[in-house]
């Protein structure tokens, strides 16, 4: 690795200061999940950056998925993973596993790791205090929830008490039934309800690319109209479609800065938030 001189380190810190000031005391929602969350070393590095932001006074809210973890557990118990338009078809047996894996295994592992890195974290899911209220999205998807309302009180209380809230993407219908929610959707709705300064979705690709095989084709910023055009042209495809839709929804709901970045790049969150250049795709209204 190339040596960084003390003068360069000092310049990096000086240049970051205005951004630190800008984000101080502001709410930043980070969506973490997918393949960017599977590697343990990487996970530790991402969480260390979240702890650092928390320690310098940014109100970080971590919303997580865990699709690969759910898939592994379904495999272990002999259940199949089925998707319809990027959403998991969730029958009752699958929902039990989703809740166990997300609110149990993944959530508690993240909280535990944040704690070990010096962060004060609290693990929640959308069922706690009726935080994520849903209705059934469609009969075909089974227990997949469409969000009808976010009750942000518990998040505000957790932040006011100095915690990093770590929230898994499960909702309730208010009648005792748990529902599965795509984690990007949950993050965008939560960011909107909190009127967050910023939402960052971490994935395992650099952002939105004209050609996903070629990193030099990254779109550094995209307007809502450009997103529509690229989706119509089939350039934004597959798992990127719902991810980008959540970003534009968050902008529509008043979130000021919205990014998709590569969570496998060392210090990706810090580079995006605290440098002029950033590194992923930023979404803007126009």
Ligand X SMILES: CC(=O)N[C@@H](CCC(=O)OP(=O)(O)O)C(=O)O
Ligand Y SMILES: Nc1ncnc2c1ncn2[C@@H]1O[C@H](COP(=O)(O)OP(=O)(O)O)[C@@H](O)[C@H]1O
Binding site listing for substrate: 66-67, 88, 180
Kindly tell me which residue out of 203, 248, 262, 264 binds ligand Y, with binding defined by CB under 6 A: 203
- Shortest Å distance, C-beta 208 to ligand Y: 5
Which x/- pattern, by CB under 6 A, does the window 133-152 give for ligand X?
-----------x--------
Contact between 169 and ligand X by CB under 6 A: the answer reads yes
Helices (H), the chain: 6-23, 40-55, 67-76, 92-99, 107-116, 153-160, 183-194, 224-232, 240-252, 268-274
Residues annotated in a binding site: 66-67, 88, 180
- Shortest Å distance, C-beta 129 to ligand Y: 26
Per CB under 6 A, the segment of 4-12, 52-60, 65-73, 124-132 that binds ligand X is 65-73
Contact between 33 and ligand Y by CB under 6 A: the answer reads yes
- List all residues 6 or more positions away from 105 whose beta carbon is below 8 Å from its beta carbon: 66, 69, 73
Kindly tell me which residue out of 59, 64, 69, 243 binds ligand Y, with binding defined by CB under 6 A: 243
Q: Which does 212 bind (CB under 5 to 8 A by kind): ligand X, ligand Y, none?
A: ligand Y
- Shortest Å distance, C-beta 219 to ligand Y: 8
Alpha carbon of residue 234 to chain centroid: 24
Contact between 237 and ligand Y by CB under 6 A: the answer reads yes
Which x/- pattern, by CB under 6 A, does the window 119-138 give for ligand Y?
--------------------
Q: For residues 38 and 79, which CB has a smaller minimum distance to ligand Y in the complex?
A: 38
Q: Which does 144 bind (CB under 5 to 8 A by kind): ligand Y, ligand X, none?
A: ligand X
Residue 246 sits at the vertex; the CA angle it makes with 16 and 82, to the nearest 5 degrees, is 125
Pairing of strands 121-125, 59-64: unpaired
- CA torsion angle 122 271 16 162 (round to 10): 0
Helices (H), 195-281: 224-232, 240-252, 268-274
Reading the block at residue 78, the tokens are 């002999």
Reading the block at residue 224, the tokens are 């809502």
Element containing residue 171 per DSSP (H, E): strand 170-172
Contact between 263 and ligand X by CB under 6 A: the answer reads no
Site for ligand X in 78-137 (CB under 6 A): 87-88, 98
Order of strands, edge to edge, in the sheet holding 164-168? 121-125, 164-168, 59-64, 27-32, 198-203, 257-262, 281-284, 221-223
User: How many residues sit close enough to ligand Y to count as binding (CB under 6 A)?
Assistant: 17
Q: How many CB atoms lie within 10 A of CB 27?
A: 22
Report CA Rg, the chain: 18
- Shortest Å distance, C-beta 263 to ligand Y: 8
Element containing residue 59 per DSSP (H, E): strand 59-64
Q: For residues 181 and 193, which CB has a smaller minimum distance to ligand X in the complex?
A: 181
Contacts to ligand X by CB under 6 A: 33-34, 65-67, 70, 87-88, 98, 144, 169, 180-183
Contacts to ligand Y by CB under 6 A: 33-36, 203-205, 208-209, 212, 235-240, 243
């Amino acid at each position: 690795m190339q040596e960084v001189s003390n003068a360069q380190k000092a310049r990096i810190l000086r240049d970051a200061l205005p951004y630190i000031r800008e984000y101080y005391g502001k709410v930043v929602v980070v969506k973490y999940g997918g393949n960017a969350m599977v590697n343990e070393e990487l996970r530790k590095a991402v969480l260390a950056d979240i702890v650092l932001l928390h320690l310098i006074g940014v109100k970080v809210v971590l919303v997580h998925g865990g699709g690969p973890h759910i898939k592994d557990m379904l495999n272990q118990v002999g259940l199949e993973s089925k998707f319809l338009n990027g959403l998991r078809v969730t029958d009752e047996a699958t929902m039990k596993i989703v809740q166990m894996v997300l609110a149990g295994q993944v959530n508690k592992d993240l909280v535990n790791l944040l704690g070990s890195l010096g962060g004060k974290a609290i693990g929640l899911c959308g069922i706690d205090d009726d935080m994520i209220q849903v209705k059934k999205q469609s009969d075909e998807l089974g227990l997949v929830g469409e969000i009808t309302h976010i009750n942000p009180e518990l998040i505000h209380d957790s932040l006011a008490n100095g915690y990093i809230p770590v929230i898994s993407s499960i909702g309730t219908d208010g009648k005792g039934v748990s529902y599965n929610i795509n984690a990007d959707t949950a993050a965008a709705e939560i960011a909107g309800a909190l009127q967050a300064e910023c939402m960052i979705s971490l994935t395992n690709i650099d952002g939105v690319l004209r050609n996903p095989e070629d990193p030099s084709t990254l779109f550094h910023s995209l307007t809502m109209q450009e997103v529509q055009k690229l989706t119509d042209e089939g350039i934004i495809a597959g798992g990127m479609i719902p991810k980008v839709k959540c970003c534009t929804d968050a902008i529509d709901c008043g979130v000021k800065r919205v990014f998709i970045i590569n969570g496998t790049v060392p210090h990706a969150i810090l580079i995006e938030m605290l440098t002029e250049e950033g590194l992923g795709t930023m979404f803007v209204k126009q």
